[in-house]
Amino acid sequence: MTAVVSLENVTFAYGEQPAVRDVSLTVDQGDFLGLIGPNGSGKTTLLHLMLGLHSPDSGSIELFGEPASAFSEGERIGYVSQQATSRGETMPVTVREVVTMGRFAHSGHNRLTEADHDIVTDALETVGITALADRQITQLSGGQRQRAFIARALASEADLLALDEPTVGVDAESRDEFYRLLDSLNDSGITIILIEHDIGVVTDRANRIACLNTELYHHGDTESFVESDALTEAYGTTGHVVEHHH
């Protein structure tokens, strides 16, 4: 089986000091990978490398079996960045239009069929924003907007969903609901990569963990991570450690 993402000995620096050093890992289809590490440990940088948004200084990256630099099927990837809450601020588009763009990306033509529009409607329903379909995207709360971007990824039939701290600024109840949505998307076969600072949330759902502090301290299944010392090693004894429950 071809890995969804595969990195071999990847190093990347913005300036002199590497933000990510000598990272090798694979994400398989259907995985739920939790990407954790202290603030500034390189998580967002690593995610950008995994999605082909940065080129590594050394090492190699493959997306769906192709060199990431040559990867051209962007519609297979749904990315909800940390900026998703403010994206599109100047564009007067409705939620349904945003999700419809995902369907255009999938179909590759400039005309959509009735069936395509049904898929858009289903995507809105799946993420629970049917009632918001005709609102301007800018009128949505941060959490609702993230759902809209996930619906767009569903409409484009993305196989991989990457989320960078998607519930920052979202209240506890909506957060639980959001994570139930992610669980059900993962159950339906979508591969998920999640950056999340609450380690308990991650270890409760991810089957794989990558624990980073510039270098990888752990990459493997969640059970062996919980039993290892990777967490305290990566976070040091600086009090950043969030207790994990299981």
The binding site for ligand ADP (CB under 6 A) comprises 14, 19, 37, 39-45
Nearer to ligand ADP, 98 or 211 (CB): 211
Nearer to ligand ADP, 17 or 110 (CB): 17
Nearer to ligand ADP, 40 or 236 (CB): 40
Nearer to ligand ADP, 42 or 102 (CB): 42
The 10 Å Cβ neighbour count of residue 206 is 23
What's the min distance (Å) between Cβ of 198 and ligand ADP? 14
Nearer to ligand ADP, 155 or 202 (CB): 202
Tell how strand 5-13 and strand 18-27 pair up: antiparallel
Cβ neighbourhood burial of 83 (10 Å; 0-12, 13-18, 19+):
exposed
d(C-alpha 239, C-alpha 49), whole Å: 28
CA neighbor of 170 nearest in space, from 193, 196, 192: 196
d(C-alpha 19, C-alpha 122), whole Å: 40
What's the min distance (Å) between Cβ of 40 and ligand ADP? 4
| Ordered alpha helix ranges (H), 51-171 | 95-107, 114-126, 142-155
What's the min distance (Å) between Cβ of 80 and ligand ADP? 14
What's the min distance (Å) between Cβ of 131 and ligand ADP? 33
What's the min distance (Å) between Cβ of 45 and ligand ADP? 3
Element holding 178 (H helix, E strand): helix 172-187
